[in-house]
Chains A and B, each alone.
Chain A
Amino acid sequence: MTFGLLADAAGLSIVKIGVMSALVFTGASQFAAVGTVVGGGSGPAAFGSAMLLAARNTLYGPVVGRALPESIGGRLIASHFVIDETTAMSSVQSGDEDATDAFWFTGIWLWTFWVAGSMAGAAIGSVVADPRTLGLDAAFPASFVALIAPHLRTSPARFTALCGAGLAVIAIPLTPAGVPLLVAALAVVPGAEFARRRSFDRDSGRRES
């Protein structure tokens, strides 16, 4: 629902919003793309930020592998539903059959509510007069605060977020809209280095004690 409201504020028609939710079906990427457009970013910049977030779904394939059908056709269809939630729900099941049920149940219900909710949000958004008087522009950063929270559980992640925010502040005055996001994505490099050193310190500490 929130996505539909925000996408409507970004100037997308209700049809585009519905089709996008049905086909792209990766919440974080869709929020990022629409957010880029609202910030004045170009289509390619929106696509770039969406794809950076979509890349992590690749890592879920091996995790949900046991829950997916054997046939190629079945796997082609199942691929569409390989996202954060279905991976999480099926990976906590102990039996393979339970994992399969959890994967399809979560996937199909989420997809249905995601598409219906997006279009409902778009319909509500289109009858609202001036989005700015309602503070709708603050809805974007607020939704990202909610989305980032589960990703900040480790200290390397918090370090990466700080680096990303810092890079964005530097890049905003220097680059066209949308580009600061792509610049900020480079924060994963110092972030991964931070994580590597921490695990190295922990390992050597264990050896000494």
Chain B
Amino acid sequence: MSWLVISAMFIGAYGFKALGVFGLAGDASTGLARRLAPLTALIPAALFAALIVVQTVGADRALSIDARLAGLVAAVVAVSRRAPFVVVVGAAMAVTAVVRALAG
């Protein structure tokens, strides 16, 4: 990832934050934000779900079922048991590594 992309992300991310602090005072922009709110509220659900799919079964323009799927199952179990973030990630890594070692 280049410095250009990082700079653009900084400007974009700060821009969105500042827009909310400064720009959403007027009635027109508040109305627009209110109309868009049902859509923006759902973005994390859509995007994170897609990221999970892409990084579990995605492989260079193809779908691939491999050890990562076992790790994902471990992560889902850990999250459903309200495990802390580090434990969720650690469990997924450990299960994937073991399955990969056994299969390879």
Binding site for B on A (CB under 8 A): 1-2, 10-12, 16, 19-20, 23-26, 28-35, 37-40, 43-44, 46-47, 49-62, 64-65, 68, 75-76, 78-80, 82-83, 132-149, 151-152, 156-158, 160-165, 167-169, 172-177, 180-181, 183-189, 191-192, 195-196
Contact = CB atoms under 8 A, between A and B. Distances in A.
B39 to A, nearest CB: 5
Interface string B6-32: 101110111011111111100000100
Contacts of A60: 17, 20
A29 B89 contact: no
A161 B1 contact: no
Interface in B58-72: 58, 60-63, 67-68, 71-72
Name the residue among A65, A141, A148, A163 with the largest chain B CB count within 10 angstroms: A141
A23 B76 contact: no
Contacts of A139: 89, 92-93
Contact of B94 (A44, A135, A140, A174): A135
Given A23-B9, A79-B22, A146-B89, 6 more contacts: A33-B5, A35-B54, A135-B100, A142-B92, A143-B85, A180-B50
A164 to B, nearest CB: 4
Contacts of A192: 38-39, 42
Contacts, number: 305
Q: Is the interface of A mostly helix, strand, loop or mixed?
A: helix
Given A35-B55, A43-B4, A176-B61, A156 B21 contact: no
A107 B42 CA distance: 24
Interface of B: 1-6, 8-10, 12-14, 16-24, 30, 33, 37-58, 60-63, 67-68, 71-72, 74-76, 78-79, 85-86, 88-89, 91-98, 100-101
A164 B14 CA distance: 26
A58 B50 CA distance: 23
A59 B20 contact: yes
A141 B68 contact: yes
B42 A191 contact: yes
A65 B18 CA distance: 11
Name the residue among B41, B47, B79, B98 with the largest chain A CB count within 10 angstroms: B47
A146 B46 contact: no
Contacts of A187: 42, 45-46, 49-50
B89 A20 contact: no
Contact of B17 (A19, A31, A57): A57
A33 B8 CA distance: 12
Q: Which 4 A-B pairs have the closest CB atoms?
A: A61-B20, A138-B71, A142-B92, A184-B50
